[in-house]
């Protein structure tokens, strides 16, 4: 080794020793490591890197094989606070003759191609340990990078057309066009196929498999955006390759309104099944909201009419009927004892007799009974009773709508408890203009339960399903493998949205 270089190395080592000796906690092992690092740095310091950039069009040839002229591209290299520029020759080469070891940032621009930015490591692997300092400084080493260029204009680019739809109206079966939505196509540099096809083959130099290795890369023009027309259609001219280029299609957030059926009014949350229009956001960053479940028909049954309470002693009552079977008068033989005001009913055969009870809360006895409606068709087998119950439950009925949009069946979900008179029935539907059905409910007066529910007329104007689809659909990104000069059709769905 040259004496001057040896002296320099010894001086550096002594300096490192002097500095580190001032630190109390530096071990001998760490000191040796620092000395070796300093020596290695000095051994590698100096030397010129001749760096070559080779541009290859991915449109007209396989990678690593020249096919399309890349002459005239502007290549800019930045290193050590210095900027270097070059223009590619007829073979697509641009050479920088005075680079140094380390990394270099490179920008490549060429008409008709996506602009490329990348960072490459041009550090050679070998150390110049057997050369003099002068030889080290004068030694030229080599590094090179092959850079794929993707066309963004005809004839090499590809065309993607399609239609963007969204579930803007859940009351029908067909997704609607989404106008004014931004659709973006981006080269998917994170796709393993992209790295395998276009980055891995660019590695290597005349002297080292790592000198010229691309560390980071970006394609600033390889992101193309279009806005959908009124009918939801879009067209994109995208970068492409003869070997196939991974392209990611995504849709920007889309804020609009959505029509759907809801059980409750969205303003005050009151029960009011119907058709509503609400704000909605279509985005791939959140899962879509669950689809509200709304029944095509609701049957509301009036509450039980037997009062809650305890019967301590039953009253004894008698009555007389007129010629039409209506109640003419009532006699109280024994007023009984009740914890609360009871209901008095005439059970058996007749219709619509109604009474009002005068109950004494002090002794729990019935003081008097007045006739509100005499009713008709009763006979001497009918029974007059005063009733309380210790439990009440509402009757719950489940309507089944057939494919012909009519009421086909009624299921008794809960028989209820505490019913004497036939309850009032109310039909509620989210569909406008429906024709109400008519049903009959049978009440067991002794158990105060519902034992039957039959359909007298089926009604019409219902659907067996309300909101469609029944399950939420998320917006997603789409991936295509795009070949040069090819046309692709890709429809995009924004799903059901987030409300």
Give burial (CB, 10 Å; 0-12/13-18/19+) of 275. Answer: middle
DSSP string, 445-488: TTTTEEEEEEEEE--B---S--SSSSS------EEEEEBTT-EE
Q: Provide the greatest CA pair distance for the chain.
A: 142
What is the CA 131 to chain-centroid distance, rounded? 63
Give the pLDDT score at 296: 94
Give the pLDDT score at 77: 95
Produce one character per residue of 265-274: b if its CB has 16 or more CB atoms within 10 Å, e if not. Answer: eeeeeeeebe
Residue 439 has pLDDT above 70, yes or no: yes
The whole-number average pLDDT for the span 223-252 is 90
Give the pLDDT score at 155: 75
Spatial separation of the C-alpha atoms in residues 199 and 203, rounded to whole Å = 7
**469 prior amide bond cis, ω within 30:** yes
Looking up tokens 């590809």 gives 158
Q: What are the residues whose beta carbons fall under 8 Å from the beta carbon of 182, sequence distance 6 or more?
A: 225, 226, 227, 228, 251, 252
Residue 11 has pLDDT above 50, yes or no: no
Residues recorded for the chain: 499
Give the pLDDT score at 84: 95
The whole-number average pLDDT for the span 196-202 is 68
Could you tell me the pLDDT band of residue 411, with boundaries at 50, 70 and 90?
very high
Spatial separation of the C-alpha atoms in residues 437 and 440, rounded to whole Å = 10
* Predicted model pTM: 0.71
The whole-number average pLDDT for the span 411-415 is 97
The DSSP output letter for 196 is: I
Residues of the chain with pLDDT > 70: what percent?
A: 83
- Residue 466 near residue 262, CB atoms below 8 Å: no
Tokens encoding 124: 């050679």
Residue 131 has pLDDT above 70, yes or no: no
Reported as a single tens digit per residue, the pLDDT across 84-110 is: 999 999 999 999 998 888 899 999 999
Residue 14 has pLDDT above 60, yes or no: no
DSSP string, 264-291: E-TTT--EEEEEEEEEEEE-TTSPPPPP
Reported as a single tens digit per residue, the pLDDT across 458-489 is: 999 998 889 999 899 898 889 888 887 788 88
Give the pLDDT score at 132: 53
Spatial separation of the C-alpha atoms in residues 81 and 69, rounded to whole Å = 32
């Amino acid at each position: 080794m040259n004496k001057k270089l040896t002296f320099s190395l010894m001086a550096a080592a002594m300096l490192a020793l002097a500095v580190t000796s001032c630190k109390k906690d530096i071990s001998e092992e760490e000191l040796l490591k620092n000395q070796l690092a300093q020596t290695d740095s000095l051994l590698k310091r100096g030397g010129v890197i001749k760096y070559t950039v080779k541009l290859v069009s991915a449109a007209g040839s396989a990678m690593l094989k020249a096919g399309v002229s890349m002459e005239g591209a502007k290549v800019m290299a930045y290193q050590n606070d210095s900027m270097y520029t070059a223009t590619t020759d007829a073979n697509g080469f641009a050479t920088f003759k005075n680079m140094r070891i380390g990394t270099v940032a490179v920008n490549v621009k060429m008409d008709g191609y996506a602009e490329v930015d990348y960072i490459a490591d041009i550090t050679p692997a070998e150390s110049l340990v057997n050369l003099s300092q002068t030889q080290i400084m004068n030694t030229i080493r080599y590094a090179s990078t092959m850079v794929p260029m993707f066309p963004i204009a005809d004839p090499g680019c590809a065309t993607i057309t399609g239609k963007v739809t969204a579930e803007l109206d859940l009351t029908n079966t067909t997704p609607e066009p989404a106008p004014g939505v931004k659709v973006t196509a981006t080269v998917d540099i994170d796709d393993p196929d992209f790295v395998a096809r276009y980055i891995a083959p660019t590695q290597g130099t005349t002297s080292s498999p790592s000198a010229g290795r691309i560390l980071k890369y970006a394609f600033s023009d390889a992101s193309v955006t279009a806005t959908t027309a009124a009918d939801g259609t879009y067209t994109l001219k995208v970068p492409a390759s003869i070997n196939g280029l991974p392209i990611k299609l995504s849709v920007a957030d889309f804020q609009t309104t959505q029509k759907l059926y809801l059980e409750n009014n969205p303003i005050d949350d009151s029960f009011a099944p119907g058709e509503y229009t609400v704000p909605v956001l279509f985005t791939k960053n959140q899962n879509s909201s669950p689809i509200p479940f709304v029944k095509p028909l609701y049957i509301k049954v009036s509450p039980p009419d037997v009062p809650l309470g305890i019967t301590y002693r039953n009253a004894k009552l008698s009555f007389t009927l007129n010629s039409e079977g209506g109640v003419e008068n009532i006699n109280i033989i024994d007023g009984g004892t009740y914890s609360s005001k009871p209901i008095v009913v005439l059970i058996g055969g007749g219709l619509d007799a109604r009474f009002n009870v005068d109950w004494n809360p002090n002794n729990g006895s019935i003081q008097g009974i007045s006739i509100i409606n005499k009713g008709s068709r009763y006979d001497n087998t009918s029974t007059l009773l005063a009733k309380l119950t210790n439990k009440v439950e509402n009757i719950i009925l489940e309507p089944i709508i057939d494919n012909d949009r009519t009421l086909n069946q009624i299921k008794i979900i809960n028989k209820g408890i505490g019913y004497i008179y036939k309850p009032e029935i109310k039909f509620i539907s989210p569909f406008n203009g429906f024709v109400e059905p008519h049903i009959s409910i049978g009440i067991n007066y002794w158990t105060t339960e519902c034992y039957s529910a039959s359909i007298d007329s089926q009604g019409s104007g219902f659907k067996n399903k309300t909101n469609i689809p029944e399950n939420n659909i998320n917006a997603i990104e789409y991936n295509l493998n795009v070949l040069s000069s090819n046309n692709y059709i890709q429809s995009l769905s924004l799903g059901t949205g987030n409300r």
